[in-house]
Amino acid sequence: MPSKIGGPIGRTEVLVRAQNWVERRFTYGTRFRNGSVTSKEHRPDLGGKQYRTDCSGLVAMSWHLPQSLTTADMLTWKGAFRLPSREDLKPGDALLKQGHVELFVRWVDAKRHGKGAFVYSFNTFGETVRNPKARTNRGNLGRNDSEEMALYRPVRYKKIADGPGRSVPHSEGAVLREPSGAIYVVVGGVPFHLTPEEYKDLGKPEFTIVPTGTFRKMPGTLRNGTLIRLKDDGSIFIVAGGAKHRLTPREWAAMGRPSAVDVPARLAEALDGTPVDNTFLCHRTSGAIFHVLGDAKYHVTEEQWGDLGKPAATDVPASFIDSIRRPAPDGPLFLRDTDRAARGAIHLVIGGARYHLSKVEYALLGKPAFIPVGKGAFKDLGEVPRETVYLRDLDDRAIYEVKDGRKHHMTPEEWDERGGDITFTNVPDRFLESIPDRQ
């Protein structure tokens, strides 16, 4: 089944979406002058949603995001996380650096990664998408050599779905080696590539040889509740929702001193500090359940948890839950109220505010993927965005800056002064009408 806007998406679909722009012969449409954007084009995906025809627009389209991000956004965007190394890349992940982003497809030689990788990429005004299958209208193939690969940071979209990874009969902490010589340690069910120095620092443990392609078929996200221990200082972390939290010796003892996988510091550094949206955490002492959304949390009552289908929650110490301090979700998010009285109401959450979408408005936005929530998710949300956000009117495409709870219609000149490359969120005009004008 095809993905929804902003929803989980399989790796195969990501590549199919990128290839669709290749087959439709779309060309790079963003122009620059002295570092500022002077003009840009948008083209539709398979469902008709428009995305900007440049490098970050291509990746946003391939991941089926709600809007076209910029490369500057992606460098700090919390919707993706940095992989420990390029060796951990899988099809549909991205290669990111200041000013450019590409979509990773596969290594040129699975046994010798030094030969480079195939990518999907938009590079030059008027050029079609560079890809692994055919040369562009400028004669270029989507391929990076090892020197080019070294310029990028490898990142993974948090909602990308690996599909049913093949079960590998090896326990946590097992060290595996493919015929190419690449050595990985299994952490939370995920293979993590070890450099020769890291393998040495771990004491050169015995390894098991596995068939070529084993690592590619294994999951790409650490299992919730995984415990990792840094080899250099012995620090122990618990992982949930792709985020890590350091345990005190007392907290680890209270958990029964469970075993942890020894890992290099590089793996822990790649993990976030706040769990991904729709992660559930359970207070180990009280049993209270918290739902994480937009870097914030709310307490889920027993009844609400039942309405949500009693999703799995990870047992964590109170300090992990307390470390999530935002008073309300940031967004943009689409949340569906599971309270029976709400009758399936869907809200757009952005900048600390919520807006109830009518059925018509939700359809006009492309029926993006939503997260079912209890009413507690809306407790600290206001009617007007409290943080600075940029909103675009669905009707007339006018863009507004909302700051300190008031909106300002940006003129073309103001847009150009900002470089013409601000990330905005499409919203119904009725939402904009509810926000006071800036004097």
Rounded average pLDDT over 71-79 = 88
Structure tokens at 251: 């907290």
- In this prediction, residue 166 carries a pLDDT of 47
Please determine, for residue 418, whether its predicted confidence score (pLDDT) is greater than 50: yes
In total, how many domains does the chain have?
2
Q: How confident is the model at residue 415 (pLDDT cuts 50, 70, 90)?
A: confident
Rounded average pLDDT over 387-399 = 90
- Helix intervals (H) in 212-284: 214-217, 249-254, 265-269
Range in 185-189, 414-418, 435-439 the model is least confident about: 414-418
Yes or no: say if 68 and 57 are a contact pair by the CB < 8 Å rule.
yes
- Find, among 102, 99, 128, the residue nearest to 117 by Cα: 102
The reply to whether 138 and 197 lie within a common domain is no
- Find, among 336, 320, 156, the residue nearest to 243 by Cα: 320
Question: Domain containing 98 — which CATH number?
Answer: 3.90.1720
Q: How confident is the model at residue 165 (pLDDT cuts 50, 70, 90)?
A: very low
The reply to whether 154 and 181 lie within a common domain is no
Q: How confident is the model at residue 422 (pLDDT cuts 50, 70, 90)?
A: confident
| pTM, entire model | 0.85
> For the chain, how long is the longest CA-to-CA vector?
69
The reply to whether 62 and 171 lie within a common domain is no
Domain boundary among 270, 299, 316: 270
The mean pLDDT value of the chain amounts to 91
Residues in the chain, total: 439
**267 phi and psi angles, rounded to 5 deg:** -70, -45
Inside any domain, residue 142: yes
Dist CA 129 CA 435 (whole Å): 40
The distance of Cα 28 from the centroid of its chain, to the nearest Å, equals 24
The reply to whether 206 and 116 lie within a common domain is no
The reply to whether 148 and 210 lie within a common domain is no
The reply to whether 76 and 176 lie within a common domain is no
Share above pLDDT 90 across residues of the chain, in percent, rounded to a whole number: 72
Inside any domain, residue 314: no
Q: For residue 45, what are the contacts with CB-CB under 8 A and spacing of at least 6?
A: 17, 20, 51, 61, 64
The reply to whether 56 and 157 lie within a common domain is yes
The reply to whether 105 and 49 lie within a common domain is yes
Domain boundary among 270, 285, 309: 270
The count of other CB atoms within 10 Å of the CB of residue 110 is 16
Range in 56-65, 97-106, 133-142, 158-167 the model is least confident about: 158-167
The reply to whether 218 and 236 lie within a common domain is yes
The reply to whether 120 and 61 lie within a common domain is yes
Q: How confident is the model at residue 322 (pLDDT cuts 50, 70, 90)?
A: very high
Dist CA 307 CA 326 (whole Å): 25
State in Å, rounded, how far the first CA of the chain is from the last one: 48
Rounded average pLDDT over 77-106 = 93
Inside any domain, residue 174: yes
Encode pLDDT of 16-44 as tens digits: 999 999 999 999 998 765 555 656 789 99
Yes or no: say if 356 and 347 are a contact pair by the CB < 8 Å rule.
yes
Inside any domain, residue 136: yes
The count of other CB atoms within 10 Å of the CB of residue 227 is 18
Inside any domain, residue 120: yes
Encode pLDDT of 255-303 as tens digits: 999 999 999 999 999 888 899 999 999 999 999 999 999 999 999 999 9
What is the residue whose two structure tokens read 């290099």? 264
The reply to whether 98 and 71 lie within a common domain is yes
- In this prediction, residue 351 carries a pLDDT of 92
Please determine, for residue 394, whether its predicted confidence score (pLDDT) is greater than 50: yes
Yes or no: say if 214 and 176 are a contact pair by the CB < 8 Å rule.
yes
Share above pLDDT 70 across residues of the chain, in percent, rounded to a whole number: 95
Rounded average pLDDT over 72-85 = 89
Inside any domain, residue 401: no
Dist CA 407 CA 400 (whole Å): 6
Q: How confident is the model at residue 421 (pLDDT cuts 50, 70, 90)?
A: low
Structure tokens at 162: 């690996």
Residues of the domain holding 148: 9-161
Please determine, for residue 162, whether its predicted confidence score (pLDDT) is greater than 80: no
Domain boundary among 143, 161, 179: 161
The reply to whether 125 and 186 lie within a common domain is no
Dist CA 103 CA 74 (whole Å): 13
More confidently predicted of 58 and 438: 58
Inside any domain, residue 231: yes
Q: For residue 300, what are the contacts with CB-CB under 8 A and spacing of at least 6?
A: 280, 289, 290, 291, 308, 374, 376
Q: How confident is the model at residue 346 (pLDDT cuts 50, 70, 90)?
A: very high
Dist CA 355 CA 333 (whole Å): 11
What is the residue whose two structure tokens read 């627009």? 57
**287 phi and psi angles, rounded to 5 deg:** 80, 0
Inside any domain, residue 56: yes
Torsion, Cα 256 259 265 270, to 10 degrees, reads -80
DSSP character for 343? T
The count of other CB atoms within 10 Å of the CB of residue 287 is 10
Yes or no: say if 9 and 159 are a contact pair by the CB < 8 Å rule.
yes
Q: How many separate helices (H) and strands (E) can be counted in the chain?
A: 13, 32
Q: For residue 97, what are the contacts with CB-CB under 8 A and spacing of at least 6?
A: 71, 151, 152, 153
